[in-house]
Amino acid sequence: AQDTYTGKVIQFINVFKEGGTAKEFFKSMGAALMNLPLSVLDSVIKGTIDMIFQVDEARSSFNKATGAMGEYNHMIDNLSQNYLQFGITATEAGTAAVAMHENFADFTRISKEGAESLTALNAKLAQVGVSGDSTAKIMNFFSKNLGQNTDEIAKNTENLILMGRSLGISASKMSRDFEAAIPKLAVYGDRATEIFGKLAAAAKTAGIEVDGLLGVAGKFDTFADAAETTGKLNAILGTQMSATEMLMMTEEERIETLILQVQSSGMAFRDMDRFTQKAVAAAAGITDMNEAQR
């Protein structure tokens, strides 16, 4: 109990009593507080009490969820006190800490300062609608797959999620889409975020999902699939796509090439007869004609 904020307040009072300075201290504090309007004073007292219990609850919830046995209490205290200007409450700090502990593999291996810094970023991004679990998983990709340090992880995570601002994509959608794309884009290493950004921009322009574009690009992942797909498309469109070239391209390059090849046929996709549209869509692996037209 003495490790809780409430217990520390009691200890604090007892120390002042023993030192004989309690009367003078509380007298001066009381004089300062009494200069405030009663409504403001009431808010200060209520807010302080609420914060004390929120911090205790955040600590308790984190320790129950992770079995950390108080090891990260100090971190939660710091987050609660130092990031109030960002609108982060003790409860939100605790939630971010749980998300990091559960989804960021190196949380318990990096320094306490590093863990606190990344958890603070997690809590900040939660303020713009990004799931704490999603942020932690993206950080995990940068850490485990790319071997980045704490500063690099923080910088790249923030840049990736806020990249959507210039594209008109919400931070929450940007994080969800990247998390879903990681299994396919991880092979590109450091270029994964760049390629994802181009796909996200193309998907936004077309009004479809990134996953839909990745599905089309996936039709050229093996030589057999690339040969079959390009063969069908060349026969339908009268184009000269190379299976080998399509195989060696990145996902966003495949999408761009496919669009250009359809355009080079001399007829807009929407102006083709319905059978040709269906044939092109089927060859590209698209079953939704609405999506194919976009």
Write the burial class of residue 189 (CB in 10 Å: 0-12 exposed, 13-18 middle, 19+ buried). exposed
Model pLDDT, residue 263: 84
Question: What amino acid occupies position 223?
Answer: F
SS3 content of the chain, % helix, strand, coil (to 5): 80, 0, 20
The Cβ of residue 121 has, within 10 Å, a number of other Cβ atoms equal to 20
> Using one digit for the tens of pLDDT, what is the confidence trace for 195-245?
999 999 999 988 889 998 999 999 999 999 999 999 999 999 888 899 999
Q: Are 199 and 218 in contact (CB under 8 A)?
A: no
Q: Are 252 and 202 in contact (CB under 8 A)?
A: yes
User: CA 96, 102, 92 angle in degrees (round to 5)?
Assistant: 15
What proportion of the chain, given as a percentage, has pLDDT over 70? 77
Weakest mean pLDDT among 37-51, 100-114, 163-177? 37-51
Weakest mean pLDDT among 62-76, 126-140, 263-277? 62-76
Retrieve residue 245's tokens.
């070239």
Confidence of residue 279 (pLDDT cuts 50, 70, 90): very high
How confident is the prediction for the chain on average, in pLDDT? 83
pTM for this predicted structure: 0.73
Dihedral sign computed on CA atoms, order 44, 50, 56, 59 = negative
Closest C-alpha among 184, 178, 153, 151 to residue 163: 178
Q: Are 241 and 227 in contact (CB under 8 A)?
A: no
Model pLDDT, residue 235: 92
The Cβ of residue 219 has, within 10 Å, a number of other Cβ atoms equal to 21
Model pLDDT, residue 94: 84
pLDDT value at 256 more than 60: yes
Mean pLDDT score, 191-196:
93
Structure-model confidence comparison of residues 97 and 15, the more confident one: 97
Rounded to the nearest 10 degrees, the angle between the axes of helix 132-140 and helix 90-103 is: 40
Mean pLDDT score, 87-93:
79
**Which H or E element spans position 62?**
helix 38-66
Give the Cα separation of 55 and 76 in Å (integer).
Answer: 8
Among 7-11, 44-48, 58-62, 120-124, top mean pLDDT goes to: 120-124
DSSP state of 67: -
Weakest mean pLDDT among 12-26, 50-64, 111-125? 12-26
pLDDT value at 107 more than 80: yes
Give the Cα separation of 252 and 118 in Å (integer).
Answer: 30
Q: Are 199 and 177 in contact (CB under 8 A)?
A: no
Q: Are 132 and 124 in contact (CB under 8 A)?
A: no
Give the Cα separation of 169 and 175 in Å (integer).
Answer: 10
Q: What is the DSSP string of 214-246?
A: HHHHGGGSSHHHHHHHHHHHHHHH-----HHHH
**Which H or E element spans position 64?**
helix 38-66
Among 6-20, 28-42, 128-142, 268-282, top mean pLDDT goes to: 128-142
Model pLDDT, residue 267: 78
Residues contacting residue 128 through CB under 8 Å, at least 6 positions apart: 171, 172
Model pLDDT, residue 265: 79
Confidence of residue 45 (pLDDT cuts 50, 70, 90): low
Confidence of residue 170 (pLDDT cuts 50, 70, 90): very high
Model pLDDT, residue 86: 73
